[in-house]
């Protein structure tokens, strides 16, 4: 465990260094430690299948669903001053026990940003927020059926550098709108075989929020995103196999959110998201996805409770199960539900608990799985 906490020190030191030049910088530190149980650590299918992605002599596969305990960790250090300058370091990690270490994941993120008030004040304040982010993500590329690392075990680990900006105009208490943009370069670790996943992200979006009635708000978000890969190949439309052309995914996302206050402590959210993807080549991986989500929040003086449930259904235009044109057209449905609660023991300490359930139903059995994670922990804020 000591090596994990030692890894936090560079980030904390950087955050402190950013804060030191200004004597009026305020520092906030938050940490969370818990223990959890994961019913399916490697997201394995729960049934035997034949792997038809192997065109010649497809093998029979018997997945091993492995469960066990893990430690969810979080650490956040943030500083800001009255001019809008903000610096932060975030760490999150899941450390699995009892031989499940291939499921471990870690994220370090440094951020430096500035928020400028362009005009107005209070609820009618118009702002411009811009910043830069450096992130390091580490995770083992494992075989979902066995949990064993693959040859290129670091294929999913990357370092990202990004810049973003967001403009918000609050015209009145009943209407606000905004624009945002983001550019990010993700550089994946070198691998001995296969293509690296390096890609650039370009995103631009806008939103508008209206107050329909005093307790009711309606919000629309529209985003356009391009994931431009350097080496990762698109698939041919004729046979579903990898081509020699790098992939370029184009996403268009429209989300509608209805927020309804239910008295003093309760808030209900209803969301619908429509997303399309174009693979930028022949369209093999194109899809249209629709997701419906409901969230119910309770926020009392000491107790907070959050209930959430959603389902996403993807309609693929051209893809086949196992990327084999001899199989049925690909279908995909993902369902999620979660319940979380937090009780503030004091201004500094809080106890929390969470249950997360996810089920992916697809006729490409390699990626079908069910998973439940149950967690309890303690959080401290200074």
Q: What is the pLDDT along the chain (382 residues), one digit of tens a residue?
A: 334 334 444 444 444 444 444 545 688 999 999 999 999 999 999 999 999 999 999 999 999 999 999 999 999 999 998 888 999 999 999 999 999 999 999 999 999 999 998 887 777 789 999 999 999 999 999 999 999 999 888 999 999 999 999 999 998 888 999 999 999 999 999 888 777 899 999 999 999 999 998 899 999 999 999 999 998 899 999 989 989 899 999 999 999 999 999 989 999 999 999 999 999 899 999 999 999 999 999 999 999 999 999 999 999 999 999 999 999 999 999 999 999 999 999 999 999 999 999 999 999 999 999 999 999 999 999 9
CB distance 57 to 126 below 8 Å? no
Token readout for 184 is 């990010």
Fold of the CATH domain 2-381: Porin (2.40.160)
pLDDT confidence of residue 122? 72
What are the CA-CA distances from residue 151 to residues 141, 173, 229, 265, 274 (Å)? 8, 56, 22, 52, 37
- Asked whether the whole model's pTM tops 0.75, one would answer yes
Sign (positive or negative) of CA dihedral 8, 134, 166, 202 = negative
- Strand pairing partners for 298? 266, 305
Angle, CA of 132, 136 and 140, to the nearest 5°: 155
Pairing of strands 349-362, 329-344: antiparallel
pLDDT confidence of residue 24? 55
Which stretches does DSSP call E strand in the chain? 26-38, 49-50, 60-61, 68-80, 85-96, 105-119, 126-139, 158-172, 175-188, 199-213, 216-235, 242-262, 266-278, 287-299, 303-320, 329-344, 349-362, 369-381
Give Cα 132 to chain centroid, integer Å.
18
Cβ neighbours, 10 Å, residue 284: 24
CB distance 139 to 150 below 8 Å? no
pLDDT confidence of residue 16? 43
Segments making up each domain of the chain, as ranges: 2-381
- The SS3 of residue 13 is helix
pLDDT confidence of residue 214? 85
pLDDT confidence of residue 29? 96
For residue 190, what is the DSSP state?
A: P
């Amino acid at each position: 465990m000591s090596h994990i906490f030692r890894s936090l020190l560079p980030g904390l030191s950087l955050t402190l260094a950013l804060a030191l030049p200004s004597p009026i910088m305020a520092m906030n530190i938050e940490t969370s430690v818990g223990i959890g149980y994961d019913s399916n650590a490697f997201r394995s299918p729960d049934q035997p299948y034949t792997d038809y992605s192997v065109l010649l002599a497809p093998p029979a596969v018997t997945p091993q669903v492995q469960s066990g305990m893990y430690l969810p960790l979080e650490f956040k250090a943030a500083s800001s001053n009255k001019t809008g300058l903000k610096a932060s370091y975030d760490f999150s990690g899941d450390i699995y026990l009892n031989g499940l270490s291939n499921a471990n994941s870690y994220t370090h993120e440094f951020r430096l940003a500035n928020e400028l008030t362009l005009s107005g004040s209070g609820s009618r304040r118009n702002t411009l927020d811009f910043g830069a982010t450096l992130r390091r993500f580490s995770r083992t590329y494992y075989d979902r059926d066995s949990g064993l690392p693959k040859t290129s075990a670091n294929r999913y680990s990357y370092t990202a550098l990004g810049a973003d900006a967001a403009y918000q105009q609050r015209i009145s208490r009943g209407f606000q709108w905004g624009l945002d943009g983001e550019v990010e370069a993700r550089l994946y670790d070198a691998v001995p075989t296969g293509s690296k996943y390096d890609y650039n992200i370009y995103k631009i979006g806008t939103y508008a929020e209206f107050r329909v009635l005093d307790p009711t708000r309606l919000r629309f978000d529209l985003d356009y995103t391009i994931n431009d890969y350097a080496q990762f190949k698109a698939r041919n439309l004729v046979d579903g196999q990898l081509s020699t052309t790098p992939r370029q995914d184009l996403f268009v996302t429209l989300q509608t959110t209805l927020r309804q206050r239910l008295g003093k402590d309760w808030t209900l959210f209803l969301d619908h998201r429509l997303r399309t993807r174009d693979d930028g080549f022949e369209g093999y991986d194109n899809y249209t996805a629709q997701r419906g989500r409901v969230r119910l929040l309770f926020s009392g003086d000491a107790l907070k409770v959050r209930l959430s449930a959603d389902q996403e259904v993807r309609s693929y235009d051209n893809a086949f199960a196992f990327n084999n044109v001899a199989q049925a057209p690909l279908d995909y449905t993902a369902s999620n539900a979660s319940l979380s609660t937090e009780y503030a023991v004091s201004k500094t300490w809080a106890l929390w608990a969470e249950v997360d359930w996810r089920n992916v139903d697809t006729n490409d059995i390699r990626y079908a799985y069910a998973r439940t994670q149950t967690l309890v922990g303690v959080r401290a804020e200074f």
